[in-house]
């Protein structure tokens, strides 16, 4: 009887401490694995992918990762922050470990889409209105200038800020650039993106066209409509010149022969300058756009390659009517 009670006591004792033994064993195994990671998995190779503007060496230097650093103790968030701050053309990135000794940095770079003037300098902007670079006006090349904003202390690597209601207009500019980028149409933006109006966004498109969007409209919808209208114009043989007004709530687009230009703006088409324009559309007479004063880019129909008439951003040589209402559906209906 006493022996039976003794065996029962020993079984209860083993059951009481069995869970503790298992827990200690798991902790010892984890500690051994962690020690192995710290001792053995160290950076020997850093690969950079997706970069074109910056060299591999520039990206690695900005990350501050060094050979021999432990792969598992690296602060990836801090590395990303350093790279985004020091290399402004980097738009997005990610960092991955490739055991046993390789770190891979994936880069997505920005491209300048517009520029703004501040303090006598040119500041290049990407699709998020992040300042990419600054310099003389020649730095902008053929990029459109953002008008109607007063920047506040622009800084390379940071998003642009503006005075007054300019901050709200910056949000609209970001939405506009995003929509045009999704449609693959940012390459046809030329001359200016004017935000001076409280209800319209005006921008140059191609060589000789100004387009009007509602400032607070759905830019994705308006961009789609713009593409339809341009195709309809090409099919109908209507020149891409003048002012294309897409601010109407109806499905119609209105084309005026006179091109709206900002006051004092000097238009540039195909690398050649036209005379400065300081007039509004109502002040411009039809004689200012006669064929005898066209630039070399405005060729006659016989000189125009048919393929260029269906390419967004090119100048169609056919003279537009005094005013045309162009439904977007015309591209399909033949209207």
Domains in the chain with CATH codes: 45-109 (3.10.20.310), 114-333 (no CATH)
**164 Ramachandran zone, left/alpha/beta (phi>0; psi -120 to 50):** left
Phi first, then psi, for residue 214 (nearest 5°) are -65, 135
pLDDT of residue 127: 95
pLDDT of residue 302: 37
- Residue 92 token pair: 């997005």
Task: List, for the chain, all residue ranges whose pLDDT scores fall below the cut of 70.
Answer: 1-18, 28-29, 31-40, 266-335
- Residue 199 token pair: 């209800």
pLDDT of residue 305: 37
- Residue 29 token pair: 């195994």
Asked whether the beta carbons of 316 and 239 are under 8 A apart, the reply is yes
Cβ density class 153-167: b for 16+ within 10 Å, e for less? ebeeeeebebeeebe
Q: How far is CA 154 from the centre of its chain?
A: 18
- Crossing angle (nearest 10°) for helices 219-236 and 166-182: 50
């Amino acid at each position: 009887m006493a022996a039976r009670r003794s065996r029962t006591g020993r079984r209860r004792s083993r059951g009481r401490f069995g869970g503790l033994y298992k827990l200690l064993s798991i902790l010892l195994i984890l500690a051994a694995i962690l020690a192995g990671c710290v001792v053995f998995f160290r950076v020997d190779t850093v690969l950079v992918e997706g970069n074109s503007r910056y060299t591999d060496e520039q990206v690695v230097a900005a990350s501050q990762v060094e050979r021999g650093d432990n792969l598992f103790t690296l602060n990836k968030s801090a590395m990303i922050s350093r790279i985004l701050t020091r290399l402004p053309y980097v738009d997005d990135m990610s960092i991955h470990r490739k055991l046993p000794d390789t770190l891979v940095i994936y880069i997505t770079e920005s491209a300048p889409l517009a520029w703004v003037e501040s303090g006598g300098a040119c500041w290049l902007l990407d699709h998020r209105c992040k300042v990419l670079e600054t310099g003389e006006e020649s730095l902008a090349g053929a990029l459109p200038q953002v008008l109607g904003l007063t920047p506040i202390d622009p800084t390379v690597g940071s998003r642009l800020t503006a005075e007054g209601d300019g901050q709200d207009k910056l949000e609209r500019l970001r939405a506009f650039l995003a929509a045009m980028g999704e449609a693959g149409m940012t390459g046809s933006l030329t001359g200016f993106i004017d935000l001076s109006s409280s209800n319209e966004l005006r921008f140059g498109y191609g060589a000789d066209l100004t387009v009007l969007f509602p400032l607070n409209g759905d830019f994705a919808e308006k961009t789609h409509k713009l593409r339809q209208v341009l195709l309809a114009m090409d099919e109908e043989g209507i020149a891409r010149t003048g002012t294309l007004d897409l601010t109407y709530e109806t499905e119609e687009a209105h084309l005026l022969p006179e091109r709206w230009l900002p006051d004092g703006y000097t238009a540039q088409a195909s690398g050649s300058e036209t005379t400065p324009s300081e007039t509004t559309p109502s002040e411009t007479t039809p004689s200012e756009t006669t064929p005898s004063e066209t630039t070399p880019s405005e060729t006659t129909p016989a000189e125009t390659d048919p393929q260029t008439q269906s390419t967004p951003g090119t100048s169609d040589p056919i003279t537009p009517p005094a005013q045309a209402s162009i439904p977007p559906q015309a591209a399909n209906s033949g209207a």
